[in-house]
Chains A and B, each alone.
Chain A
């Protein structure tokens, strides 16, 4: 972590004093093939990092090192890495509870993410949030939200705040908020309210539907009307919508980049029906009786990491040796994150009563005395 140098963040209401080492600005290339090698290889790295991280997460869950609900992102890597790769570092990102992939793609360290699931003080929420509530303020990850679709009005809210800062306070800059949702969230009322508000008030938010075909165990044709024309639904709110094949990250960039730029420039919302697939069950406790192994295998044949790897080899950006070395490096990093999480301290009992109130006056509770507690490791 290094000190941020951007002057605008000092004046903005939200002070993110620390930024990570990722590039601050989105690339300008119009198509993925024009992108510099470093970026394309970094995509492969980030996708493989998520894949490996999630495999280790499942292992740790099965060993009861991780508790609660745990939703695995494997299969959908091209979505988080590809779309986040199209925006600036200080564009807010918010998602639902299948959030480990977004956290890593945003730049959260595997240590902070894994330690959070292990319930340790070194976790991104000091062990208070767990798998479903990944927050990373220096990297503009505004959560991990556990209630289906609760993040969609908030996505409009971050877009609103950016616009308010610019127009009322005269600080900040043009931003675009990426708000992810699963197809189950399509059916919640608040998503419709959010789209209405975003369109009505010209808010620069992109609703990215990670359409993996299932709302928990209910297939899309059984849970949402007119499921083959979801873009039409957005049009009903005057929101531009497009469909994207989310298994090919180069394609994700080509389609999503112009949309993100336009959304930022015109301050108009957008909706993306990003077709993807999750390899694992809804959560770790899902026996997956609602789909066949053949269906899963069919998608695994179109695996997004294998696809990108093959493309990069064709382009001469990486070779077998390089790919092998990259996988080894990632495996080591992820293993180290598990080891460091396992060795990290569990929260003190005192930590139970911290971070409840920002101004913990007396008599707020008949039984508790609140304090600020330890500093968040990310801040």
Chain B
């Protein structure tokens, strides 16, 4: 895979971005190389680590334990303990450390076992990584990837079920990627590792075991390009990460009633592919944003605002949003399901929008 020199800030040494292929030349999403989401992540990291010694992985249980969620299984054997590094439970310490390493030109991948644990590292990841280039007046960049599980797991209750998208995407200087499937997970993580800016990469404990065809060859998915996962004409559903699956399930139910909806998988939150949303809104004239974080000042709020600013005249009714319930995440299984933007809630929201 050829890397291309692009217009990268002079603070970044040896910059290279992968060659992004046009959509129709990307390797097929169909095939029989069925692997898990976690294996796709591992493949992305391993491929990049083989090519670039600046890249290393650190985090809790990533090495000897083979990953708390087995994402990094086998990587210690291949790359050794100097590049696959077990850390103490010390997020503030190791995140700050990795940021300094990134300033000097290394390319750390920091695994948070859960993004819920990233708050104790809020100062380094929010106050240093995204601002380093700016506050040093363009002297030091911070090419780093923070990745881990985001969102409700399985009955983990309120402290371990955080969706950090809205809180963190607020900060200029960072990028945020959030794949919904194994194919995108590999392509987006490879891009994240090569990107010269700090990338916050959102995974989901509930999707790590998801299986799909993932091409063996290398490929890179550019940031800021949404994927139309399903095409319809009644309503455009805009989503990202795990709720894309809730949308696709809801779309099946609605199709049985003769209602065909779009499902737009945003793939990255910052940058946000607003053009693709506008393009579909011009077709369906109705839009529902499905977001796994809380409603107040959420990503859905941002998307709805941009829709109003950019294509208000194409709307037949007010743009709608569906978030998790505006409460701390409950433990009880049924309550947790009701809390999520689940397929039944999406179906209800679409019906309401159509009848509006």
Residues of A within 8 A of B (CB): 12-15, 92, 94, 123-129, 133, 135-137, 142-143, 145, 147, 150, 152-158, 160-162, 164-165, 167-169, 189-190, 193-194, 196-197, 200, 354-359, 361-366, 368, 372-373, 375-376, 378-379
Contact = CB atoms under 8 A, between A and B. Distances in A.
Nearest to A150: B123
A168 B82 contact: yes
Contacts of B231: none
B246 interface: no
Given A133-B135, A362-B271, A157 B56 contact: no
Nearest to A142: B103
Nearest to B306: A366
Given A13-B104, A358-B143, A364-B271, A153 B93 contact: yes
25 contacts: A12-B104, A124-B139, A128-B135, A128-B137, A129-B137, A150-B96, A150-B123, A153-B96, A153-B100, A158-B103, A161-B106, A164-B56, A164-B82, A193-B92, A194-B96, A197-B90, A200-B88, A354-B138, A357-B197, A359-B17, A359-B195, A364-B172, A364-B271, A366-B306, A376-B137
A168 B8 CA distance: 26
Nearest to A368: B172
Contact of A197 (B88, B173, B223): B88
Majority secondary structure, A binding face: loop
Given A164-B82, A190-B92, A376-B138, 10 more contacts: A125-B136, A154-B97, A158-B103, A161-B100, A164-B101, A190-B93, A193-B92, A358-B133, A359-B6, A379-B11
A170 to B, nearest CB: 8
Contacts of B344: none
| Residue of A125, A355, A373 ringed by the most chain B CB atoms within 10 A | A355
Given A13-B14, A13-B54, A362-B224, A160 B138 contact: no
Given A153-B100, A156-B100, A15 B13 contact: yes
B91 to A, nearest CB: 9
Contacts of A193: 88, 90, 92-94
Nearest to A192: B93
Contact of B137 (A13, A125, A167): A125
Contacts of A355: 9, 11, 133-134, 137-138
Nearest to A92: B104
A355 to B, nearest CB: 4
A169 B128 CA distance: 26
B309 interface: yes
B211 interface: no
Interface string B123-150: 1100110000111111111010000000
A162 B104 CA distance: 9
B136 A143 contact: yes
Given A363-B272, A363-B274, A368-B172, A189 B92 contact: yes
Contacts of A378: 139
B273 interface: yes
A155 B140 contact: no
B340 interface: no
A375 B9 CA distance: 10
B134 A158 contact: no
Nearest to B79: A168
Please name the 5 residue pairs, one residue from A and one from B, whose CB atoms are nearest each other, closest first. Answer: A157-B100, A13-B105, A153-B96, A193-B93, A125-B137
B341 interface: no
Interface string B9-26: 111111101000000000
A137 B133 CA distance: 12
B137 A157 contact: no
Residue picked from B90, B106, B137, B272, most chain A C-beta under 10 Å: B137
A366 B124 contact: no
A133 B305 CA distance: 35
A360 B33 CA distance: 35
Contacts of B99: 154, 157
A14 B13 contact: yes
Contacts of B92: 153, 189-190, 193
A11 B183 CA distance: 35
Nearest to B13: A15
B304 to A, nearest CB: 12
Contacts of A365: 172
A167 B82 CA distance: 8
Nearest to A132: B135
Given A164-B106, A197-B94, A359-B6, A366 B101 contact: no
Contacts of A136: 139
Contacts of A160: 97, 100-101
B326 interface: no
B38 interface: no
B9 A358 contact: yes
Nearest to B136: A135
Contact of A366 (B100, B127, B305): B305
Nearest to A365: B172
Contacts of A12: 104-105
B123 A147 contact: yes
Contacts of A126: 137-138
A189 to B, nearest CB: 7
B196 interface: yes
A153 B10 contact: no
